[in-house]
Chains A and B, each alone.
Chain A
Amino acid sequence: MSDLAPSFEMMNIEEDNSTIGPDFMLVKRHIEDLATHYFKPLTRQWTNPPIRFFNLRSQWEKDTAMLSSITEIAMHPSYQQIIGMGPSVIPLILNEMTIKPGHWFWALKSITGEDPVQPKQRGRIREMVDAWIQWGKEQNYLA
C-alpha cells in the first residue's frame, strides 16, 4: 500500500512528536485529503486493491476514531467492504498492523476463519496484534 499512496509513514512524520503544533496537523490533514481525493476515482480503486484498501481504511478510521463499540466499528460500511475484498487484503491488513495497531481482528477472523488470539489475550491490543503478526509470518503473509 505504502508504495502506491502517500502516507505519513512514508514521510517519516512521527505521530507522537509532542512538538508538532496544530497548524502542522492541519496541513497534514489537507495533504491526506488531497491524497485520498486523488485516489478516489473508482477506476483507479477497482484496478488496484491496495489503493482501494487505503481509501476504505482512511474513511473507516476517520469515522470510527471516537467509537468504543467494536460492533459499530466493524459494521462501518468501509470496514465491511474491506472484508468483502477477501484474502487479497490479508497482507495489507497485517502490514498495517505492524505500523499502527488497530481493530483489524474482526476482519481477519472473518476472512481467514482463524483466531490465533488466546482467551487471556482478549482485549489486550498489543498482544492481539502480536498474535496475528506471528500467524501472518507462519502463513507466509509476512516476511
Chain B
Amino acid sequence: MDSVGKGAKLSGMTEFAIRKSFPNLTGQNFTITSPETPEYNCIAWAAGDMEAWWWPDANNQYYWPEEVPRNESLRAFKYLFENLGYQECETANYEEGYEKIGIYRDMQNKTTHASRQLRSGVWTSKLGSIEDIEHPFRGLDSSDYGSVFLIMKRPNQS
C-alpha cells in the first residue's frame, strides 16, 4: 500500500481539498499513496492494520482493543500504542532500527489523528475516510488536526 503511487485514484477529495485543509502541504511535499477507502482510519494505519476502523467510541461500535481503556483521552491513546510496543520519545528525527508514530491533539485537547514514520524518514497518514498520504512531519498541522503532541517509538518489527 505504501507504494501505490501518486494519483492512484483521483477521488472527489483531491489534492486541492487536501491542500486546502492542511496549509503546510504544497504540491511538492506530499503524495497520495492509496485509493480512497472508509475501511480503516489513521489510528489503524499507524498501528499497521488496514482492515478495521479503530476508535474508542462510547457507542462501542468500532474496534478498540479490550485491554485498552475505551475513552478518548490522550492517556488511552498512549496506552494503546504502548500496548503495541511503543515508548514515548523526544524527537521525530528518523532513528535507524526504530519506527515512530505521532499522536495529534487539537486546541480543545481532543485526540484527532496519528501518523507513522516510514523508513525513508517521511511520515504516512490515513486521512479520515479518504486516502493515505506521505507527508513531512509538520505537514498536517492544522485547525482540524492540531499538531503532534506525543511521539513514540519502538524497534522495527520486520
Give residues in A with beta carbon < 8 Å to B. 15-16, 18, 20-22, 25-26, 28-29, 64-72, 74, 101-103, 105-106, 109, 115, 117, 122-126, 128
Question: Considering the complex, which residues of chain B in the window 102-140 have a beta carbon less than 8 Å from any beta carbon of chain A?
Answer: 110-114, 126-130
For residue B39, which residue of chain A has the nearest CB? A125
Question: Is A122's CB under 8 angstroms from B61's CB?
Answer: yes
Q: Could you write out 30 A-B pairs with CB less than 8 Å apart?
A: A15-B12, A15-B36, A16-B9, A16-B11, A18-B7, A22-B16, A25-B12, A29-B12, A65-B17, A65-B127, A67-B112, A67-B129, A67-B144, A68-B41, A68-B43, A68-B128, A69-B111, A70-B53, A70-B61, A71-B57, A71-B72, A74-B57, A102-B129, A103-B38, A103-B129, A106-B59, A106-B61, A124-B39, A125-B38, A125-B53
Q: How far is the CA of A116 from the CA of B43 in the complex (A)?
A: 25
Q: A101-B39, A103-B38, A125-B53 are in contact. Are A68 and B112 (CB under 8 A)?
A: yes
Question: Is A123's CB under 8 angstroms from B63's CB?
Answer: yes
Give residues in B with beta carbon < 8 Å to A. 7-18, 21, 35-36, 38-39, 41-44, 51-55, 57-64, 72, 110-114, 126-130, 144
Shortest distance from the beta carbon of A98 to any chain B beta carbon, whole Å = 14
Contacts between the two chains (Cβ within 8 Å), count: 111
Shortest distance from the beta carbon of A68 to any chain B beta carbon, whole Å = 4
Q: How far is the CA of A115 from the CA of B61 in the complex (A)?
A: 9
For residue B126, which residue of chain A has the nearest CB? A68
Question: Is B14's CB under 8 angstroms from A25's CB?
Answer: yes
Q: How far is the CA of A105 from the CA of B44 in the complex (A)?
A: 18
